[in-house]
Amino acid sequence: MVKARQWILAKKATDLPTFEGSEPNFKLVEKDLPEPKEDELLVKPIYLSNDPAQRGWISTEADPLRLYLPPVKEGTPMHARGLCEIIESKSSKHSKGDIVFANCGWSEYAVVPASQCQPAPDLGNGMSRTLYLSAFGTTAMTAYFGLTEVAQITKDDIVVISGAAGATGSMCVQLAKKLIGCKKVIGIAGTDDKCKWVEKLGADICLNYKSPSFAEDFRKETPGPEGFANVYFDNVGGEILDLVMTRMARYGRIAACGAIANYNSTSDKATGIKNWFEVIQMRLQIKGFIVMDYLKDAPKATEILKNMHKEGKLEIEGGEHVVETKFEDIPKTWLLLFNGSNQGKLITQLK
Amino acid sequence: MVKARQWILAKKATDLPTFEGSEPNFKLVEKDLPEPKEDELLVKPIYLSNDPAQRGWISTEADPLRLYLPPVKEGTPMHARGLCEIIESKSSKHSKGDIVFANCGWSEYAVVPASQCQPAPDLGNGMSRTLYLSAFGTTAMTAYFGLTEVAQITKDDIVVISGAAGATGSMCVQLAKKLIGCKKVIGIAGTDDKCKWVEKLGADICLNYKSPSFAEDFRKETPGPEGFANVYFDNVGGEILDLVMTRMARYGRIAACGAIANYNSTSDKATGIKNWFEVIQMRLQIKGFIVMDYLKDAPKATEILKNMHKEGKLEIEGGEHVVETKFEDIPKTWLLLFNGSNQGKLITQLK
Determine how many CB atoms are found less than 10 A away from the CB of residue A242: 22
In this prediction, residue A263 carries a pLDDT of: 87
| Residue A302 within any structural domain of the chain | no
Domain of residue A92, CATH code: 3.90.180.10
Higher per-residue confidence, A262 vs A143: A143
In terms of domains, do A109 and A178 share one? no
The answer to whether the CB of B249 falls within 8 A of the CB of B217 is no
A184-189 and B158-161 strand pairing = unpaired
In terms of domains, do B162 and B287 share one? yes
pLDDT digits (tens, 9 = 90+) for A69-112: 889 999 999 999 999 999 999 999 999 999 999 999 999 999 99
In terms of domains, do B201 and B106 share one? no
Q: How many CA atoms lie within 13 A of A329 on its CB side?
A: 11
In this prediction, residue A71 carries a pLDDT of: 94
User: Under an 8 A CB cutoff, do A259 and B272 touch?
Assistant: no
At B288 the three-state DSSP class reads strand
Average pLDDT estimate for A183-203 = 98
| Residue B305 within any structural domain of the chain | no
Helices (H), chain B: 53-56, 138-145, 167-174, 192-201, 214-221, 238-245, 277-281, 298-310, 330-335
Residue A268 has pLDDT above 90, yes or no: no
DSSP 8-state secondary structure symbol assigned to residue B274 = -
Contacts of A276 in chain B (CB under 8 A): 237-238, 241, 256, 259, 262, 270, 273
| Residue B63 within any structural domain of the chain | yes
Query: Which ipTM did the prediction report?
Result: 0.95
| Residue A45 within any structural domain of the chain | yes
The answer to whether the CB of A109 falls within 8 A of the CB of A2 is yes
Number of domains in chain B: 2
What kind and span of H or E run contains A28? strand A26-33
Sequence-separated (6 or more) residues with CB below 8 Å from residue B129: B47, B83, B99, B120, B122, B123
The answer to whether the CB of A105 falls within 8 A of the CB of A79 is yes
- Peptide bond just before A64 cis, omega within 30 deg: no
pLDDT digits (tens, 9 = 90+) for B150-192: 999 999 999 999 999 999 999 999 999 999 999 999 999 999 9
By Cβ distance, the residue of A65, A66, A280 closest to B256 is: A280
In terms of domains, do B234 and B337 share one? no
The A-side interface with B (CB below 8 A) comprises 56, 63, 65-68, 224-225, 228, 237, 241-242, 246, 256-259, 262-263, 267-268, 270-290, 293
At A199 the three-state DSSP class reads helix
In terms of domains, do B327 and B273 share one? no
The residue from B245, B274, B292 where one domain ends is B292
In terms of domains, do A149 and A288 share one? yes
| Residue A297 within any structural domain of the chain | no
Residues A340 and B29: their CA atoms lie apart, in Å, by 58
Residues B174 and B176: their CA atoms lie apart, in Å, by 6
pLDDT digits (tens, 9 = 90+) for A212-242: 999 999 999 999 999 999 999 999 999 999 9
In terms of domains, do B154 and B287 share one? yes
Sequence-separated (6 or more) residues with CB below 8 Å from residue B314: B135, B174, B178, B305, B308
Domain of residue A151, CATH code: 3.40.50.720
In terms of domains, do B337 and B247 share one? no
User: Under an 8 A CB cutoff, do B277 and A262 touch?
Assistant: yes
Radius of gyration of chain B (CA): 21
Task: Find the distance separating the first CA and the last CA of chain A, reported in whole Å.
Answer: 22
Closest CA to A342 of A162, A124, A190, A119: A190
| Residue A177 within any structural domain of the chain | yes
At B9 the three-state DSSP class reads strand
* Enclosing domain of residue A156: 138-292
| Residue B118 within any structural domain of the chain | yes
In terms of domains, do A191 and A281 share one? yes
Closest CA to B249 of B276, B268, B228, B267: B228
User: Under an 8 A CB cutoff, do B281 and A256 touch?
Assistant: no
User: Under an 8 A CB cutoff, do B279 and A288 touch?
Assistant: yes
| Residue B42 within any structural domain of the chain | yes
In terms of domains, do B146 and B269 share one? yes
Best B248, B279, B292 residue to mutate vs chain A (most A CBs within 10 Å): B279
> Burial letters for B159-185: b for 16+ Cβ neighbours within 10 Å, e otherwise?
bbbbbbbbbbbbbbbbbbbbbbebbbb
CA A211 vs CA A240, A259, B264: distances in Å: 13, 20, 31
Residue A270 has pLDDT above 90, yes or no: no
Contacts of B282 in chain A (CB under 8 A): 66, 288
Residue type, B219: R
In terms of domains, do A273 and A331 share one? no
Residues A109 and A31: their CA atoms lie apart, in Å, by 10
Checking B305-309 for CB contacts under 8 A at 24+ apart, the result is B305/B135, B305/B136, B305/B140, B305/B144, B306/B136, B308/B174, B308/B178, B308/B179, B309/B135
Best B253, B267, B281, B282 residue to mutate vs chain A (most A CBs within 10 Å): B281
User: Under an 8 A CB cutoff, do A288 and B270 touch?
Assistant: no
pLDDT digits (tens, 9 = 90+) for A304-334: 999 999 999 998 888 999 999 999 999 999 9
pLDDT category, A64, cuts 50, 70, 90?
confident
The B-side interface with A (CB below 8 A) comprises 56, 63, 65-68, 224-225, 228, 237-238, 241-242, 246, 256-259, 262-263, 267-268, 270-290, 293
Burial of B265 (C-beta count, 10 Å sphere; 0-12/13-18/19+): middle
Sequence-separated (6 or more) residues with CB below 8 Å from residue A85: A43, A44, A46, A97, A98, A99
In terms of domains, do A113 and A50 share one? yes
User: Under an 8 A CB cutoff, do A279 and B273 touch?
Assistant: no
- List per-block mean pLDDT (blocks of 10 residues) for chain B, which spans 351 residues: 95 94 96 97 98 94 87 97 97 97 97 96 91 93 98 98 97 98 98 97 98 98 96 97 97 96 85 93 98 95 94 89 97 95 95 92
In this prediction, residue A228 carries a pLDDT of: 98
